[in-house]
Amino acid sequence: MYMLEQDLARSRMGEMQAEAAAASRARRLYLARRAARRAERAVRRAARASAAVY
């Protein structure tokens, strides 16, 4: 009985770690996309400012 409980706990821990890893990947992807959008806006602002100078 003890071995069964231990196996169940180990299995559940593995599932929880997989869920945490997936959430971490999703968050990193979200942050990377947000940073890319900010960089794109900065490039457009810089291009407009440069065009306004000339």
- Report pLDDT digits (tens) over 1-53: 789 999 999 999 999 999 999 999 999 999 999 999 999 999 999 999 999 88
CA-CA distance, 14 to 8, in Å (whole number)? 10
What pTM was estimated for this model as a whole?
0.68
Amino acid at 22: A
Question: Among positive and negative, which fits the CA dihedral 36, 37, 41, 42?
Answer: negative
CA-CA distance, 41 to 26, in Å (whole number)? 23
Q: What is the pLDDT of residue 38?
A: 98
Q: What is the pLDDT of residue 53?
A: 83
Q: What is the pLDDT of residue 9?
A: 96
Query: What does the domain layout of the chain look like in residue ranges?
Result: 1-53
Q: What is the pLDDT of residue 13?
A: 97
